[in-house]
Chains A and B, each alone.
Chain A
Amino acid sequence: MRDALIQAVIEVAKTDDRIWLLTGDLGYSVLEPLRDAIGCRFINAGIAEQNMTGVAAGLALAGKIVFTYSIANFPTLRCLEQIRNDVCYHNLPVKIVAVGGGLAYGSLGYTHHAVEDIAIMRSLPNMTVLAPGDPNEAKSCLRHAINCPGPTYVRLGKAGEQAIHSSIPDRIDTPIEVLSGRDITVLATGGGLSVAFQACKKLTAEGVSPRLLSVPCLHPIDLTGLCGPIVTVEDHGIGGLGSIVAEHVALTHVDAIVKCVRLHGTPTSLTGSMSQLQNAGGLSEETVIAAVNGLLSRRKYLNVA
């Protein structure tokens, strides 16, 4: 996913000299081709994310489109006020890229788990929040990030994610249908997509007909028409996709019932791979299947489609 995005940045940056990239001392064995392609528009700003983000704002004020690149929470939470005041308030085209969204950095521990980032980023003014769920979505997200005039947050996994889409989606500004189905809508984002995809395949084999929508663009979002029984799936805690859908239901008064499959939010103090920690945190194929079956059994008693 990371490599897909970097490749896409290189392609655009070759012909668009407004594009700069600042890294917070990360990108070893990843960013070299980009560095070679854009020369002095590539800067290692050092381990100094607040300054990096402020500098990005300054460059953007002068007409540049500036990527800031780091891992986990370093390009977001570490420099949150620079993002809020300098980038978002001034509505500048700074494109924040974080590698290692969710629990991708598994055993590196709590400091490297980005599980509050979506909630925090989507609450900022003018911010577009993107969380691709596969390498093809990552490419599409990059295109979207460059085209949208303001601040953008791109939350990536790491490397080696399974491709869910067979080609690059044309648009990501509305949810993308991955599987069609008539019983229930499953919405998934980021690292939740592959979990939801596997779960839906199992459900289909069991005779349930889930519709799976991928939501790479979390904010702003148009969920018009979304109703009925809904399950959300994400590698994030409070304030992410589940909250977004619950807000949609609360604000539009559509007939819907929502169950959220998300990380329960207790910081982990033990070692584990991404999927082990997801499981321990409440995100697994089983929890998705249980949520779907739970809603379908309740639907009989509820007056929803």
Chain B
Amino acid sequence: MINSVDLARTARLHAVKMVHRAKASHIGSALSMIDILAVLYSGILDTQPGRDDRDRIIVSKGHAAVGLYAILAETGFFPVEELDSYGQPGSRLLGHVSHHVPGVEVSTGSLGHGMPIACGLALAIKQCVVCIVGDGELNEGTTWESALFAGKHSLTNLTVIVDHNRLQGYGDVDEILGLGSISKKFAQFGWSTVEIDGHNHDQIRNALATNQTRPNLIIAHTVKGKGVDFMEGSLDWHYKSPNTEELANACRQLEAA
């Protein structure tokens, strides 16, 4: 079993360095979900590539790719050095999650595609299918179409984790469309739901360990930009890339964590 806290810290450091070098966006989105990924890839699921009976993880919020790439490299899917190629010409580490990268099940980047694919997989296989979605991403109609489908087909091996950081592309999730109670909505669609602190590894692990008789929704309360104080809760860091001083500051904070 990998220590998920160490894994998360290392992955955060990789992620900030990668977006700095590539002058890329979406660091806030990556830091928001790294704890969830660190627990998922710490050994509680069997995601060995190539095996038909592996568990599947789909990162539907494909813009947060650096977080996933860092975790995949650190858990042995490809060499850690390859992370340096992010943003460089010819690299397969594209700005949105790419299935050409070892360990990645499906390419994403257009929001609202992950849940329907996860439903299909969960219908076809017995293993666990976990899908991570953004809270803004829940705006998409496909969310609710697949929520109905999963409820109707009792996809008990399906777990959807909402990275509930309350920010989306152009403002606050609560203001733009006002999601209200995500829990109550999904419960109405026949899901079992649980709300957790999305940065508390024990809570993440426990939520994933519970055996359900219905499709599972984990609402992970998170902070966009988690771990770097000037990025936390700020829409700017959906877009900005840290400059040299900001990177040094971010690394200092992440190393001390």
A pairs with B: yes
Partner-B contacts on A (CB < 8 A): 23, 25-29, 31, 44, 46-48, 50-51, 72-74, 78, 105, 107-112, 269-273, 276
Please report the C-alpha to C-alpha distance between residue A62 and residue B96 in the assembled complex, in whole angstroms. 39
* Distance A31 CA – B171 CA, assembled complex (angstroms): 12
Task: Tell me whether B170 and A23 are in contact (CB under 8 A).
Answer: yes
Q: Which of B62, B108, B168 contacts A25 (CB 8 A)?
A: B168
B235 touches A28 (CB 8 A): yes
B21 at the interface (CB under 8 A from A): no
Asked whether B92 lies within 8 Å of A78 as measured between CB atoms, the reply is no
Q: Which of B89, B91, B137, B238 is A28 in contact with, Cβ under 8 Å?
A: B238
Provide the residues of chain A in CB contact with B62, threshold 8 Å: 111
Q: Is the CB of A112 within 8 A of B92?
A: no
Structural contact, B95 and A47, CB atoms closer than 8 A: no
Interface size class of B (residues with CB under 8 A): 35 or more
Cβ–Cβ contact A271 & B110, under 8 A: no
Q: List 5 A-B contacts (CB under 8 A).
A: A51-B141, A73-B110, A108-B109, A110-B107, A271-B86
* Bound: A50/B88 CA distance, A: 34
The majority secondary structure among interface residues of chain B is loop
Which of A31, A46, A51 sits near B176, CB closer than 8 Å?
Answer: A46
The answer on a CB contact under 8 Å between A48 and B141 is yes
* Cα separation A276 to B86 with both chains bound (whole Å): 16
Q: How far is the CB of A225 from chain B (nearest CB, A)?
A: 41
A107 touching B95 by the CB < 8 A rule? yes
A109 near B89 (CB under 8 angstroms)? no
Q: Are A48 and B109 in contact (CB under 8 A)?
A: no
Mark each residue of chain B from 160 to 203: 1 if its CB lies under 8 Å from any CB of chain A, else 0. 00000000111100001100000000000000000000000000
Chain A residues lying within 8 Å of B24, measured Cβ to Cβ, are 107
Q: Is the CB of A48 within 8 A of B170?
A: no
Q: B94: which A residues are within 8 A, CB to CB? A: 107-110, 269-271
User: Are B136 and A47 interface neighbours, CB within 8 A?
Assistant: yes
Cα–Cα distance between A29 and B107 once the two chains are bound (Å) = 28
B155 within 8 Å of A (CB atoms): no
A46 touches B95 (CB 8 A): no
Contact B109 A44 (CB under 8 A): no
Given contacts A47-B111, A269-B92, list 4 more A-B pairs with CB under 8 A. A46-B177, A109-B95, A112-B109, A271-B91
Q: Does B22 have its Cβ within 8 Å of any Cβ on chain A?
A: yes
Partner of B169, one of A28, A110, A111, A270: A28
Distance of B67 from chain A, by nearest CB (Å): 16
Point out the residues of chain B lying under 8 angstroms from A29, CB to CB: 239
Most buried by B among A105, A108, A111: A111
Tell me the complex Cα distance, A23–B169, Å: 11
Query: Are B235's CB and A270's CB within 8 A?
Result: no
Q: How far is the CB of B190 from chain A (nearest CB, A)?
A: 23
Q: Is A271 within 8 A of B90, CB to CB?
A: yes
Given contacts A29-B239, A48-B140, A270-B90, whether A109 and B169 have CB atoms under 8 Å apart is: no
Whether the pair A44, B96 counts as a contact (CB closer than 8 A) is no
B173: nearest residue on chain A (CB-CB)?
A46
Q: Contacts of A44 on B, CB cut-off 8 Å?
A: 170-171, 176
> Chain A residues with Cβ under 8 A from B140's Cβ?
47-48
A53 to B94, CA, bound (A): 29
State in angstroms the CA–CA spacing of A76 and B159 once bound together: 31
B110 to A108, Cβ gap below 8 A?
Answer: no
Q: Does B100 contact A (CB under 8 A)?
A: yes
Contact partner of B96 among A74, A109, A272, CB < 8 A? A109
Q: Do B170 and A78 have beta carbons less than 8 Å apart?
A: no
| B109–A109 CB distance below 8 A | yes
A227 to chain B, nearest CB (A): 41
Cα of A26 to Cα of B139 in the assembled complex, Å? 13
Q: Which of B90, B168, B169 has most chain A Cβ within 10 Å?
A: B169
Asked whether any CB of chain A lies closer than 8 Å to the CB of B112, the reply is yes
Q: With the chains together, A108 CA to B108 CA distance in Å? A: 11
B13 interface residue per 8 A CB criterion:
no
User: Which A residues are in CB contact (< 8 Å) with B169?
Assistant: 25-26, 28, 47
In the bound complex, what is the Cα–Cα distance between A26 and B168 (angstroms)?
9
A107 contacts which chain B residues (CB < 8 A)? 22, 24, 87, 94-95
Write the nearest CB–CB distance from A29 to chain B, whole angstroms. Answer: 7
Q: Known A28-B238, A47-B139, A48-B141; judge A271-B93 contact (CB<8 A).
A: yes
**Residues on the A chain within 8 Å of B235, using CB:** 28
CB-CB contacts of B227-257 with A at 8 A, as 1s and 0s?
A: 0000000010011000000000000000000
Contacting pair B170 A25 (CB below 8 A): yes
Q: How far is the CA of A27 from the CA of B96 in the complex (A)?
A: 19
- B73 nearest CB across to chain A (Å): 16
